Chain A
Amino acid sequence: MKMEELLDLIEVQLGKKRVRASDHFINDLQAESLDMVHLASAIEDRFGIMVPEKILAQAKTVQELFDFLTTQTTA
């Protein structure tokens, strides 16, 4: 998975344009916990990667989520 693919998915899920890796989910993207749950489910459907709830709560920015997801795929 590439960063641009994740950005594309986040844009579609959250209804935002020009999302950046440094964006903070709550402060910049106004994502609520329910949105994050739906985002995780979309990631699973699109990339086949399960996102545990713990990670979902810990990942404050897009970059942090991306880092988790890429460690998952390379591991």
Chain B
Amino acid sequence: MPGFSILTDVLEFRAKSVPDQVAFSFEEKKYTYGWLYREARQTAAHLVDTGIRKGDRVLLAIPNGPAFFPAFFGCMWAGAIAVPVFPGAGPERLAHYEGLCGSRLTLGPDLFGTGKVSGPGLLPEVAADDIAFIQYTSGSTSDPKGVQISHAGLLTNIRQLIAGMEINDQDIFVSWLPVYHDMGLILMALVPFYLGIKLVLLPSSLRQVHTWLRALERHRGTFTAAPDLAYRLAVAWRNADHPYDLSSLRVALNAAEPVRLSTILEFEEAFGIRHIMTAGYGLAEATVGVCMSAPGRPPKTDPAGHVSVGHPFPGISLAILKDERLAATGETGEILIKSPANTPGYFNNPAGTLALYWEKEYIRTGDIGYLDADGRLFVLGRIKQVIKVGGRSLYAADLEESIDGHPNIRHAAALGLEGKDGEGEALYLFVETRWHRTPERAVCKDLVIEIIQHIHDRFGVRPARVYLLRAKTIPFTFNGKKQHGLLKQWWSEGKLRKGNTVIYPDY
């Protein structure tokens, strides 16, 4: 479909040529392109009637389900800029987003299907360079940044994803990823719409692994995506007596969080499948997808055990920035991306936009990595999650991975906190235990000693502090991203102490 310049053109084409074809299914109900077209046009008419004009922002606080897409495409037709946000956000948080993007209207899950079908001419002209939607980036404590995505950028990245991941019309997508966030929206929903292939959409829950695995088995899913943590949960919670048949899987993309080799090997071993888990990398500032390792082959790792996220998709080039110059092959530095799908900038944030670009053509990712001799990318971590201890750079992700496998540990978060004595950063480890009741002190102490010994053996340094936390206290986004910034904020505000979150030690 190279002729289309706006995604709604694709939807209109499908609604006219194959109106009865199923666009997606959700909770056993099927929704056709004809239905989606009518509902979206109605929403557009409703928006225009309400006084929404071209370029106005409309907040979408809608969970996974049939209500989201008419609202999303309705905004496109009305020339409005959709701003999808986490629908579970409270009124305070929603008001915060409303203030950030200056939205004039918020659409919830029940506000669709109203209004009248608009006649031609009522809706504004929309150009490819107009902003289609704004994706607020999550995970940091500072104000989230609104990444603007143009219609052209969106279509470009959809095509990059299809070409780079070799997605074809035989693929069957199964997804629980949130549709109000980039990977769940663009890769897992808009790509199938673009190609007119089957999409089984599930409620968004990181913890409903059985719903996910069952859907993959039942629908013979070939393509799914999730963060590393979700695959680990799938291995941990699978029913060993009745293993799901996932033999139809062609690609199980592992992205959005650091990819662990152990996760790939354990998932494939647990379900008796080989070379289907791919490692991917991307970010909202490049629309979503940037690169992915090739399926059908074993994961490529470096001597330190990092898994490569493969080559960039067609039309995208990568570079590494070190000391403000382009680094040589194998040198570690900040990952730069040159892509026609790069954002034109953050909404209403010229300073942030200026800082995003390097030499006009590249965006700075804030991620650390290197390119090997074959041009494969290895991502080592976030710049902000590099912890400088005793003149060495440690990556939070490596430290966390090294202790996460312990039977009494759920997850760990490594933070670099300002040391008291001007010694630079100090490594703090926050370790969430699996214990439902706090055991006696001696048991806690033994675990801390074991952790310190392990870190010391493996990395040659000792953490300044190790704190054991109650289960389910390390914050994650709805998307399965660990929120180091928020944890740091909680710690510095004394919130972890006050909330009795720290179970050991008491100083």
Contacts and interface: CB of A to CB of B under 8 A. Distances in A.
A45 B445 contact: no
A38 to B, nearest CB: 4
Nearest to A53: B421
Contact of A45 (B389, B450, B507): B507
Given A41-B419, A45-B507, A12 B445 contact: yes
Contact of A37 (B421, B453, B461): B421
B390 A34 contact: yes
A11 B389 CA distance: 21
Interface in A1-24: 8, 11-17
B449 A12 contact: yes
Given A38-B465, A42-B465, A16 B390 contact: no
B462 A38 contact: yes
Interface residues on A, range: 20 to 34
Residue with the highest number of chain B CB atoms closer than 10 Å, among A17, A37, A42: A37
B221 to A, nearest CB: 45
B51 interface: no
Interface in B411-463: 419-421, 423, 426, 445, 448-453, 455-456, 461-462
Given A37-B419, A40-B421, 7 more contacts: A8-B445, A11-B445, A13-B462, A15-B448, A38-B419, A41-B420, A41-B464
B505 interface: yes
A46 to B, nearest CB: 4
A13 B452 CA distance: 8
A1 B505 CA distance: 17
Nearest to B426: A38
A35 interface: yes
Contacts of B448: 12, 15
A50 B421 CA distance: 12
Contact of B421 (A13, A17, A41): A41
A42 B389 CA distance: 17
Nearest to B422: A37
Contact of B449 (A15, A34, A41, A53): A15
Nearest to B454: A15
A22 B284 CA distance: 57
B449 A11 contact: yes
A42 B462 CA distance: 13
